[in-house]
A and B are shown apart, each in its own frame.
Chain A
Amino acid sequence: MNQHGTMKNTEKLNKRDRLINTLIVIAVIGGVLAVRYLPPAIAYWRSSEVYKRYSRVEGVRATYIKDFPLNDTLTVAVTLFEATDSAGWSYLLNAFNEPEEVRDVVEESTVKNKVWIRLAPKGHPEEKVSNDGQGENKEGKKWSYDALLKSYDMRTICVFDMKSMEQYMALFEYGVDIMLDKGEINYN
């Protein structure tokens, strides 16, 4: 009976040891998983929907810039799509509903090196803005446009996740200020 009691105690010790070993394995593997995968997973989860939609397209290099500085106080989230080949560029133009006839005209004209801006419904930069007045910056109405910049020359499409009219004005001022600094615009 004495021996039986000691065996029971030994079993308890073995169980406790096994539990500690299991906890060590879980802690080590869990720690590595958390350090390795959590930060990129959280960053990806916080990126824009449009980034998630097109970031894995072949021939398209996507960048999500969380805080692009428009001025000293305002920042904006930007998703940049750069086509690395003509197939990628065609894909982007199709995805963002660029009409075929417009593409042909722009590609063959001198305006190819220009950048064009248009507004798009919030979260759907592929679509055109409807004429029902939605998203207009009237009092009490929420700004619900994204801004889309497109350059045929750079084969790049840039989507600005606009939250307010102030951001849009800051975007405008950003462009104008740089042109003023460079002397491209002269009001005198």
Chain B
Amino acid sequence: MEEKNKPTIDEMIEAYRQYSRRIDELCRQLPPPKVDFTKLPPPYRHRAMSGRIKTLSFAAVVALILLLLPLPDAMALNRGVNYDASVEAVGIMIRSVNNF
């Protein structure tokens, strides 16, 4: 009787396959895990956060370089000019016109 109830190897493999397929289907239906990096233990947290830190550092360095670079001459309006003195010079010119 015991021999009859015991599943064969093939039946066990088939049952395992069905079980795996079902698990796989369930896994596929799950949303990607949301990992809160700050709650991971130190080594994992460090590894997980280092990518973001590196990216932000890179962006900050590039932004700093862009800020420190002088403006190209082509884009600078009234570069190196004392604007108020120029406005005054225009006034002086008008009041000195000889042939209105």
Of the residues B51, B73, B89, B98, contact of A111 by C-beta under 8 Å: B98
Q: Which of A1-15 contact B (CB under 8 A)?
A: 1-2, 4-6, 8-10, 12-13
Residues of A within 8 A of B (CB-CB), count: 56
Chain A nearest Cβ from B86, distance in angstroms = 4
Given contacts A44-B74, A61-B81, whether A115 and B30 have CB atoms under 8 Å apart is: no
Of the residues B55, B77, B90, contact of A80 by C-beta under 8 Å: B90
In terms of DSSP, what is the predominant structure of the interface of chain A? helix
Q: Does A40 lie within 8 Å of B77, measured CB to CB?
A: yes
Residues of B within 8 A of A (CB-CB), count: 45
Chain A nearest Cβ from B32, distance in angstroms = 4
1/0 contact string of B3-16 vs chain A (CB within 8 Å)? 00000000000000
Task: List chain B positions with a Cβ less than 8 A from chain A.
Answer: 20-21, 23-24, 27-28, 30, 32-33, 35, 51-52, 55-56, 58-60, 62-63, 66-67, 71, 73-78, 80-81, 83, 86-87, 89-100
Given contacts A1-B27, A40-B75, A63-B78, 8 further A-B contacts (CB under 8 A): A2-B27, A43-B77, A63-B86, A65-B86, A114-B98, A117-B97, A156-B93, A175-B94
